[in-house]
Amino acid sequence: SQKIEQNSEALNIQEGKTATLTCNYTNYSPAYLQWYRQDPGRGPVFLLLIRENEKEKRKERLKVTFDTTLKQSLFHITASQPADSATYLCADNNNDMRFGAGTRLTVKP
């Protein structure tokens, strides 16, 4: 069956380090992947989108990569700050929006 998965439920890192979150998809090829941020008790907020023919996308301290060979997208936050602590979701567009379960990132001072 077609799946989009974020295998790490939680990630803890020290302030200033780079956080790397992983999103894997199986048995299909999405035309693009999106990354969202969700704070506790609030709706997801869109961050970045990357198309299948793009290797990398950047926005300020955020970087997303899309590897169609590995069937994987990586989401990086450089120079992480405690304010980056949140749950990050990846999503695809395979006829309807499907979301991974999310990775809860905690950045410690």
Partner 1 sequence: EAQVTQNPRYLITVTGKKLTVTCSQNMNHEYMSWYRQDPGLGLRQIYYSMNVEVTDKGDVPEGYKVSRKEKRNFPLILESPSPNQTSLYFCASSLSPPIGTITDTQYFGPGTRLTVL
Which residues contribute to the site for partner 1 (CB under 8 A)? Answer: 6, 9, 31-32, 34, 41-46, 49, 51, 89, 91, 93, 95-102
* Angstrom distance (rounded) from CA 109 to CA 95: 41
Give the residue carrying structure tokens 């905690």.
Answer: 106
CB of 16 to partner 1, least distance (A): 29
Task: Using the minimum distance from each CB to partner 1, give the nearer residue, 20 or 38.
Answer: 38
- Cβ neighbours of residue 2 closer than 8 Å, sequence gap 6 or more: 25, 26, 27, 28, 94
CB of 17 to partner 1, least distance (A): 26
CB of 38 to partner 1, least distance (A): 8
* Angstrom distance (rounded) from CA 102 to CA 90: 7
CB of 42 to partner 1, least distance (A): 6
Task: Using the minimum distance from each CB to partner 1, give the nearer residue, 44 or 63.
Answer: 44
Residue type, 77: I
Task: Using the minimum distance from each CB to partner 1, give the nearer residue, 31 or 79.
Answer: 31
Task: Using the minimum distance from each CB to partner 1, give the nearer residue, 12 or 29.
Answer: 29
Annotate 24-46 with DSSP letters as a single string. Answer: EEESS--SEEEEEEE-TTS--EE
